Amino acid sequence: MQLSYATTNQGKVKSLELALSPFSIPVVQAQIDLEEPRSDSVYRIARSKLLQAREVVQGPLVVLDAAFCIKALNDFPNTFIHHALSTIGVEGLLRLTEGKDRSCEFVHAIAYADQYMTAGAMFFFYTERGKVADVPRSGGSFKWSELWKIFIPEGSDKTLAEFTEDEIAKREQGFYKPFGEWLSARAKRYEL
């Protein structure tokens, strides 16, 4: 089985490769520029992206969408991460959270389809809680979003951008484990 990941972000591909390595599922990038609908629902966005990608990619396919929700800002920027980063950047997000509760969370939606799923898709969701750092911090060798410089996962004192590749792999494997187990069983059942 080979899993196509529809994204233009090579960092996201590497992250999924690390996460699925215990299941021996190879991941290849399907470099497709997908239209992202305006929505505050990671489910709707992931579903739309999956439908677009299925018109180009045959076989096992996955897309991902994420939201970054800062509690004190009524969950802003939510799914509008790209817009927030391209306008105010991480520095602007830090200014908006000055003197406020810095609790936040990433919400991820994984959408999967293959040639045997004629009428639907399978969705997996996970939430990672944490807090916004006081200043951007980096130092690790691996990141796929500028938000990693300001997101400190619950139970850590480091931003994601300060994590080593091994720490990222361990973290990702925990989140993607239900998806990896399901996909591994599906691959055996359908000989994907």
CATH of the domain at 159: 3.90.950.10
Say if residues 84 and 77 touch (Cβ distance below 8 Å): yes
Predicted structure pTM score: 0.91
Q: pLDDT (tens digit, 9 = 90+) per residue, 144-177? A: 789 999 999 999 999 999 998 888 888 888 889 9
CA distance 57 to 132: 37
Q: Which domain holds residue 112?
A: 3-190
- Mean pLDDT score across all residues of the chain: 93
pLDDT band for position 53 (50/70/90)?
very high
What is the domain count for the chain?
Answer: 1
